[in-house]
Structure 1
Amino acid sequence: MKRKRKFLKILILFITLLLFMVINNSNLFLKQTTKDPLLLAHRGMAQTFNIKDVKYDTCTAEMIYKPEHSYLENTIPSMEAAFNEGADMVEFDIMPTKDGQFAVFHDETLDCRTNVKGTTEDYTMDELKKVDTGFGYTYDNGKTFPFRGKGIGLMPSLDEVLSNFPDKSLLIHIKSNDAAEGVQLAKVLTKLPKDRLSLLTVYGGDEPIEALKEKLPKIKVMSKNTMKSCLIPYILVGWTGYVPETCENTELHLPEKIAPYLWGWSGKFTSRMEDLNTRVIVVVGDGGFSEGFDSEEDLKRLPNHYSGGVWTNRIDIIAPVFNK
């Protein structure tokens, strides 16, 4: 008899705990938002390609689809076009130059896209302005090069981007894992007023992000380490509604296949993170090769009333869906 009572108490406790976990993380009773998701345009308006064929050493400029527009990634015209289309935020890449600046450019070397060899560190910013960033683009295996000669002067410096978009949200990508680049970027950003700094987010390798955060503790950042330090403890205790302090003031890029397994996904999870000034961005696939929601069909996979961020390589297709 005593054993039955003890078992019954344990069973009631277990059921009560289970109900608490379900109710506390359910979106059924959450007030539904009417706001649209935040649209993050990857590299502005860019030429696109089949992401399935990409490896770490792939020259993507040599495998673009037939161009539907004239914009090249990581240029000021492409960023302007993205914002004009309806982007809430634009992502771009930075690489160090020979004269201690940052050029806005994606690849480790200049060989693929441009008419020169080497890296950005082999050239001054003035020299990079003379480089043709459209030189290597082809959609027909080298039969034609539709942007050759049209990319001269289009590679901007980080300073130019910041001055051209003084009131826009920007996501800056440090491409390396060199702590020195984090320190260098901090020197640039510390000159900005607080209201401007609040519109910037930086992501990249663990070492540069840690170095940057040490100099600018209030700036929003993301790296593998910041993601793990937030999500691992959240997976353990998030069912209670508690969000670890390590999640504060960061950005989370969540693969769409993993996100649904997080406590409170999507409405409660997003709300909890927003309370800590943390932005949630959903990406396609495993997040390894910047796959985005690039078609209207892709958007159907988002949760109902989703109000977090959406990563896209085709802001020209995605933004009009919400503008309807």
Structure 2
Amino acid sequence: MPPETTAPPPGRRRFRKRFAAGTAVLCTAAFMWVNNTDVLAYHSAGERGVLAHRGLGQTFGHEGVGNDTCTAERIHEPEHDFLENTVRGMRAAFDAGADQVEFDVHMTADDRFAVFHDWELDCRTDLSGTTRDFTLAELKRADIGYGYTADGGGTYPFRGAGVGLMPSLDEVLAEFPEGDLLLHIKSDDPAEGGLLADRLSALPAERLAGLTVYGGDAPIAALRERLPELRVMSKDMMMDCLLAYEAVGWTGHVPSSCSGMQLHIPEGYGPWLWGWPARFTQRMAAADTRVVVVAGSGGFSEGFDDIGSLERVPDGFTGLVWTNRADETAAAIRDRSG
């Protein structure tokens, strides 16, 4: 007869179950730490880049800025004579060392694209209304430096100097045939995405590879449907990617919703992402996705605009750094590459 076996007492069984569960939790926690800590990550040097927001232009204080604030009326004392969203300002940004230059596009009355930031023309120019109220030819006669003042209206240092400086999208593409460009659709009109698709579809594949478009969910969806090979980003796309990554990123897996895009990550949100910054940027790069770190909450054009602010860019970050002052920061951004 087989020997009799005696079951362990209930207290010991409970201990074994708790020990097994605790060991599983500890092993999982250890795996998550090892798989996501930057302490053990490979920090590749020389890969941090510069994204020049609106090229090179005048900067302004962000305190109290809202959606209706006319930022041209609160610029800092000018240190240069470049204006945002101009060919000259974009050229200056590239010359200063920018890897990618961002600019804004709006539809015109004759279904062209003007390069200009504001929906309303009244703040910066000598015109009143929206870009859609005017033809491109009419907009090109506007003075885009008309409304800038650093002393509450005492002086207007760029008034008269901005006549004819509002470029078209076609002019920018012609001026920078090989430049890495980031186009911002300022509306949420799907028709604008369709019109932009009409324009960009005429470009060769190698030129499309150097363009990225971001903006409202509806126009970006329309654009992506027509040009699936184009790198695009919208708020919905970014949220789909990041929520999925938060769920599974601890394993090192990058969800398909994160592939082939450009992510703009506010500096305060980055530390909540698995593997931030080095492993995160490396994982996204492997999925053909660029990562951009933006200052503050990411709203109202905040950038890393002086040497001191670059201390907040984390070691090991190897994506693009958003700046409004490429002339002041580009060299330092590269010197501090992770």
Partner of 1:316: 327
Q: Are 1:105 and 2:147 matched, yes or no?
A: no
Partner of 1:248: 259
Secondary structure of the residue aligned to 1:39 is strand
- CA deviation map 1:74-132 (0-9, x unaligned): 00000000000010010000010111100000111111111111111111111111111
Match of 2:201 among 190, 196, 200: 190
Paired with 2:274 and 2:226, the residues of 1 have a C-alpha distance of 32
Partner of 2:153: 142
Match of 2:39 among 28, 49, 53: 28
Partner of 2:276: 265
Secondary structure of the residue aligned to 2:63 is helix
Paired with 1:149 and 1:68, the residues of 2 have a C-alpha distance of 18
How many angstroms does 1:322 deviate by?
4.1
Match of 2:286 among 261, 268, 275: 275
How many angstroms does 1:309 deviate by?
1.1
Paired with 1:290 and 1:323, the residues of 2 have a C-alpha distance of 21
Structure-2 change in CA distance of 1:296 and 1:36 (3 Å): farther
Partner of 2:82: 71
Match of 2:250 among 239, 257, 263: 239
Aligned structure 1 segments of 4 or more residues deviating by more than 6 angstroms: none
Partner of 1:291: 302
Contact 1:254 1:287 in 2 (8 A): yes
Paired with 1:143 and 1:21, the residues of 2 have a C-alpha distance of 59
Q: Are 1:300 and 2:302 matched, yes or no?
A: no
Contact 1:174 1:202 in 2 (8 A): yes
Paired with 2:331 and 2:50, the residues of 1 have a C-alpha distance of 11
How many angstroms does 1:259 deviate by?
0.4
- CA deviation map 1:124-146 (0-9, x unaligned): 11111111111111111111111
Secondary structure of the residue aligned to 2:321 is strand
Paired with 2:215 and 2:139, the residues of 1 have a C-alpha distance of 23
Secondary structure of the residue aligned to 1:221 is strand
- Listed as ranges, the matches of 1:138-177 within 5 Å are 138-177=149-188
Tell me the TM-score normalised to structure 2 length: 0.94
Count of aligned pairs between the two proteins: 324
One-letter amino acid matched to 1:265: W
Q: Are 1:203 and 2:209 matched, yes or no?
A: no
Match of 2:239 among 218, 228, 246: 228
How many angstroms does 1:251 deviate by?
1.0
Bigger CA radius of gyration: 2
Q: Are 1:180 and 2:191 matched, yes or no?
A: yes
How many angstroms does 1:323 deviate by?
5.9
- CA deviation map 1:141-189 (0-9, x unaligned): 1111111111111000001001100101011000011011010111111
Partner of 2:8: none
Paired with 1:299 and 1:7, the residues of 2 have a C-alpha distance of 48
- Listed as ranges, the matches of 1:53-72 within 5 Å are 53-72=64-83
Paired with 2:129 and 2:313, the residues of 1 have a C-alpha distance of 41
Partner of 1:51: 62
Paired with 1:255 and 1:302, the residues of 2 have a C-alpha distance of 11
How many angstroms does 1:23 deviate by?
0.5
Partner of 1:18: 29
Paired with 2:312 and 2:150, the residues of 1 have a C-alpha distance of 30
One-letter amino acid matched to 1:79: M
Paired with 1:34 and 1:318, the residues of 2 have a C-alpha distance of 18
Paired with 2:87 and 2:129, the residues of 1 have a C-alpha distance of 23
Over the matched positions of the two proteins, sequence identity in percent amounts to 53
Paired with 1:246 and 1:175, the residues of 2 have a C-alpha distance of 23
Partner of 1:3: 14
Task: List runs of 5+ in structure 1 lacking aligned partners.
Answer: none
How many angstroms does 1:230 deviate by?
0.2
How many angstroms does 1:320 deviate by?
2.9
Match of 2:52 among 41, 49, 52: 41
Secondary structure of the residue aligned to 1:16 is helix
One-letter amino acid matched to 1:296: I
How many angstroms does 1:296 deviate by?
0.9
Q: Calculate the aligned-residue CA RMSD, in Å.
A: 1.0
Paired with 1:218 and 1:237, the residues of 2 have a C-alpha distance of 26
One-letter amino acid matched to 2:291: V
